Every structure is written in C-alpha cells, then in structure tokens.
C-alpha cells in the first residue's frame, strides 16, 4: 500500500539500487545532508518519553550522535515560518526577514504570508491559495550553499505537510519543494517557481490515494492506554476534540473526523507523519539522493505534532502517542538511509521550529498566576490613551504579532514626534494584563542588549518589515482566543517556547552531549563545518565545536 511497507524487514531489502555500506567504508566527504524539523517539539519530550522510545529512533540519535541539551531559539516570535527560516539560514528574523507566518506589509498596506508569491502558480492542481515560493526570504539557506558548492550538481529538496515548512528550508535554488494539499484533494503539490509539471513519480505517488487509506482507520493508542503515565488522564478538560461535540478521548473515528476536516484531517493525526515519510522515502529513491559524488540535501518537516499539540496540549495522551509513533518514523528513516546511502556517509540533524506553552487554564487550576490576554482590549485602551493625549487622530496603522505600526502620514501631518507617540503606546500597553515589557523602534534600531528577553525581541525585529512598538507577553499567558476551551499556543521568548532539541548523527559528528547553551543560529554553521561548505550569506551563528570530529 505504501512505500514504508518495503521496510518491514530492513535486512531483506532488495529494491535499493545502491549496495549496502559498512561503518568501515572510508569516504572523503558525505553524500547527503538530511535536516529534520519536528514542528512544535519541546526538548523535554525527549526526556519525558525516553523510556518508551525504541533503540533505533530518537535514542539512537541521542546515544550514538551528539545531543545539545540546552538548545534555544534566541528571538521572538517563535512561530513556524521564522523557525524554519532561522534553522536553515543560520540567522534570525532580524537578518532573514521572515518575521512571522503572516505580517502587515507597510508598503502594500495589507497582510502578507511568509511564502506568498503572486507571480507563481500551483503545480499538481489549480489551487489559487497555493501560490508559494521562497521570494520573501532575504538570504540563502544551507541548501542554497550546497547548490553553489557543487556547481548545481547536488540535488536539494524540501518536503512538509505545510508549504512554509517545505519552502523556507529548501531556499532559493532548490530542485523542488513539495507540500500537502488537504481539503478534498489529498495531494503532494508544488509551485511553478520550481517546475511546470510534477515529476511522473510524484503523480504516481498521488495516484495511490494514500490519504484515503490512512484516514480509513481509527486512531487508537500505540500502547495500552494505561501505560501513558507521562500524560494526564485521557479525558481532560484542557483539550479540543478532533470531532465536534465529542469528548477528546481515544479512539478517534477518522471517517467521522473527515466530515468536518475532509482530507486535511491527515494533518491533525500522527498518520500524517507516516504519509510524509512515505513521500520522503519515495523521493530519496526516485531522485537517487546520496547515490553519487555530489552532495545532496533533503529537509523533512514533520508538521502533524504542531496541529496535535495546539489542540491537546503538551501533557496529553494524544501528544505522547504522536511522539511514540514519530520515534518509529525516525527509526525507519535511519534504517533506510543506512542501507541506501551508507552508514557514516550522510549527516543528519533533528531540531524543532519552536516549543509550546502549557494550557493556561490547567496552570490556573493548579494555582499558577497566568491568564488569557485580550488584544482587542489592549488596542482599545491604547487608542483611548492616544485620543486623550493627542485628540481624535488615527495614529495606529496596525497591530499584529505583538507589534504596533504607527501611522506616519498622520504623525507628519500633525507634526508629532514619532518616538513620543511610540512611548505613549508602550506606557499604556504595560498597564494591561499579560503584557510584561516592550521596546520601541528607536531603541531596537540603536541599542545593544545583553538582557536575554530584550535581546530576543531585537533579534526577531527587522528594520524594514517590523513595527514601531514591540511587546513581550507575560510568561504563561496566551491569547483569549484559547480561553473557554482547550488547546494552547506559542510565540514567546520564554523557555517553554524556545527550548528545543538539536541532535546530530552520522558523518563527521562527534558522539557526546553538551549542557552549554547553544542557539538556533548555530545549527547551520555546525553542519557547514562538518561538510566543508560555506555557511549561508546571512549566517550569524557559530559552530558547536564539541559536535564536530
């Protein structure tokens, strides 16, 4: 039914064209770089679920590779778009320009999407909302540098269930980025930025209708449910349900779920990871990655944990089950690579694009002083303060992603001082529940901060694209869109959103671990040092020396 079925007994594989390599094989350079991003994976999932992981998945990477135990994002907002861009460029939104998933464009006077490109079309179907490319990325990625270093001979690809999770890692020069189109279609698609038509092997893959197969089953726990002792009870008031008007408990009838979500349901269950792995193995095979002397690259972004984590929260049985199943996916991928490319002839890293907060209501019920903030109340209070000080002037052009954008035309017309207006906004904002601190444009553009939180705001702030007042929400607080029902979110500079895995394995990697803090910017320069390729042009990180042989 699916490519992964070929791996049921890895030792008996006969479909690979490449001969099996051994650890003793001597190679002057690696043949393949694989970058894995798990969307919304906190570091503590590794330690919390470790007793249930098998030996050849996450444990193999942790025990026989390199484990950076205090790896953090150094900026805010910690979202999917900025996270993927930062991992693969070796820098932060201050430089690469992907400041959020969506942001207000001051020139266009509208919101734009991080992978939006109105000059391209979708490939694989006529989908007007799938006009995507890496156009808005300001710098090169690791994949781009591999293209340059091999004079275009190396093949580079990015795949994900989310378009931004495929496109941003693959960069400007990729052979292709592929992502999942749910709805009524259930297809892997691409963009005319890369090609005019899907390769025949992708069409053949789509023709198998694997989403229908995966969604014809019931989501039951992998282990007996009483063994999920690392999670709170299954029937929890802090979760959203996949199926409307039904308690969020196992088992989940995926036929029933499709009545609401259609084939997009695949993104919201662990079987979406299986499907993406199927596609990854097919791509590795059909594109012959790692089969010649030119260095190739593949990024795989497992998006499903993000959808599941948002709905159920980090203490749920659903999240634990997702990671136990993902552990099997990782093991299958490693087995495949060891046979098809050769153990020791590829380098693989695994990280995440952000973490996630505890469900605030759960913390409230346990006596922790957190809550849900209201952006609409914040904006109303700020506008009232501005009106009281300056009269009925329209001084705010936009508020989004924790930032106020000033209306400079109105400020100039009324001969006001922009810094003074920004300070008024900041002072009033700090009076609101859930607002911890903030900085204004003049400070962000000129100051050099050592305080970690202020520094994280500055590293996430782009002088051309960002706003004029940047706020930091208080620890543990989330938007009131989550209030009154289950679920959680992310985006802050606090440790629960910034502390993620960084695991390295394979060619040139020194076995061990490190407790010293490393940063998202350090991943790419570390890989670049291992493979002997120039880091991306905007790279601001440093190699993690303890990780390199």
Buried b (16+ CB within 10 A) or exposed e, 262-301: bbbbbbbbbbbbbbbbbbbbbbbbebebbbeebbbbbbbb
**Does residue 80 carry a catalytic annotation?**
yes
Long-range contacts of the stretch 410-415 (C-beta < 8 A, 24+): 414/390
DSSP-based three-state secondary structure for 72: strand
Residue 176 tokens read as 């292709």
Residue 163 tokens read as 């378009």
Torsion, CA 200, CA 206, CA 210, CA 216, rounded to 10? -160
Other C-beta atoms lying within 10 Å of the C-beta of residue 27: 13
DSSP-based three-state secondary structure for 279: helix
Element (DSSP H or E) covering residue 527: helix 523-531
CA 446: distance to chain centroid?
Answer: 30
Element (DSSP H or E) covering residue 158: strand 156-160
Other C-beta atoms lying within 10 Å of the C-beta of residue 104: 21
Whether residue 255 contacts residue 216, with contact meaning beta carbons closer than 8 Å, is answered with: yes
Q: Pick the catalytic residue: 17, 78, 80, 265?
A: 80
Residues facing residue 67 across a β-bridge? 503, 513
Residue positions annotated with a catalytic role: 80
């Amino acid at each position: 039914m699916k490519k992964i079925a070929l791996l049921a007994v890895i030792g008996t594989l006969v479909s690979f064209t490449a001969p099996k390599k051994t650890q003793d094989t001597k190679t002057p350079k690696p043949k393949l770089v694989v970058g894995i991003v798990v969307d919304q994976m906190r570091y503590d999932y590794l330690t919390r679920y470790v007793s249930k992981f098998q030996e050849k998945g996450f444990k193999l990477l942790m025990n026989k590779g390199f484990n950076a135990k205090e790896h953090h994002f150094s900026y805010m907002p910690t979202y999917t778009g900025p996270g993927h861009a930062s991992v693969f460029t070796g820098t932060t939104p201050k430089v690469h320009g992907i400041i959020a998933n969506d942001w207000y464009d001051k020139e266009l006077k509208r919101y734009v999407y991080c992978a939006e490109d109105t000059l391209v079309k979708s490939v694989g179907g006529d989908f007007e909302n799938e006009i995507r490319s890496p156009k808005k990325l300001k710098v090169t990625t690791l994949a781009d540098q591999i293209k340059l270093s091999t004079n275009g001979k190396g093949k580079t690809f990015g795949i994900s269930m989310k378009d931004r999770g495929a496109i941003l890692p693959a960069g400007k020069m990729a052979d292709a980025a592929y992502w999942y189109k749910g709805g009524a279609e259930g297809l892997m698609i691409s963009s005319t930025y890369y090609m005019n038509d899907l390769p025949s092997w992708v069409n053949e893959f789509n023709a198998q209708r694997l989403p229908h197969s995966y969604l014809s089953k019931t989501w039951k726990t992998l282990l007996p449910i009483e063994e999920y002792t690392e999670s709170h009870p299954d029937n929890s008031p802090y979760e959203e349900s996949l199926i409307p008007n039904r308690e969020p408990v196992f088992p989940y009838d995926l036929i029933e779920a499709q009545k609401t979500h259609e084939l997009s349901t695949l993104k919201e269950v662990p079987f979406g990871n299986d499907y993406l792995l199927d596609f990854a193995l097919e791509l590795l095979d059909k594109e012959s990655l790692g089969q010649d002397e030119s260095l190739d690259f593949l990024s795989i972004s497992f998006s499903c944990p993000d959808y599941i984590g948002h709905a159920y929260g980090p203490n749920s049985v659903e999240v634990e089950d997702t990671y136990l199943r993902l552990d099997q996916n990782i093991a299958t991928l490693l087995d495949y690579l060891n046979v098809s490319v050769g153990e020791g002839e590829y380098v693989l890293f695994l990280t995440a694009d952000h973490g996630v907060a505890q469900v605030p209501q759960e913390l409230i019920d346990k006596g922790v002083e957190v809550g849900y903030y209201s952006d609409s109340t914040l904006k109303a209070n700020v506008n009232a303060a501005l009106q009281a000080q300056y009269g009925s002037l329209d001084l705010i052009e936009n508020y989004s992603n924790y930032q106020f954008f000033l209306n400079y035309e109105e400020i100039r017309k009324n001969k006001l001082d922009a810094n003074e207006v920004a300070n008024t906004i900041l002072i009033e904002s700090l009076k609101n529940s859930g607002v911890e601190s903030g900085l204004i444009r003049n400070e962000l553009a000129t100051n050099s901060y050592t305080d970690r939180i202020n520094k994280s705001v500055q590293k996430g702030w782009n002088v051309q694209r960002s706003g004029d007042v940047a706020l930091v929400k208080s620890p543990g607080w989330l938007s009131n869109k989550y209030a009154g029902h289950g679920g959680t979110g992310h985006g802050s500079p606090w440790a629960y959103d910034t502390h993620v895995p960084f695991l390295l394995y394979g060619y040139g990697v020194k076995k061990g671990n490190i407790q010293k803090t490393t940063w998202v910017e350090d991943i790419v320069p570390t890989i670049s040092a291992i493979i002997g390729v120039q880091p991306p042009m905007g790279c601001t990180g440093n190699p993690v020396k303890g990780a390199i042989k």
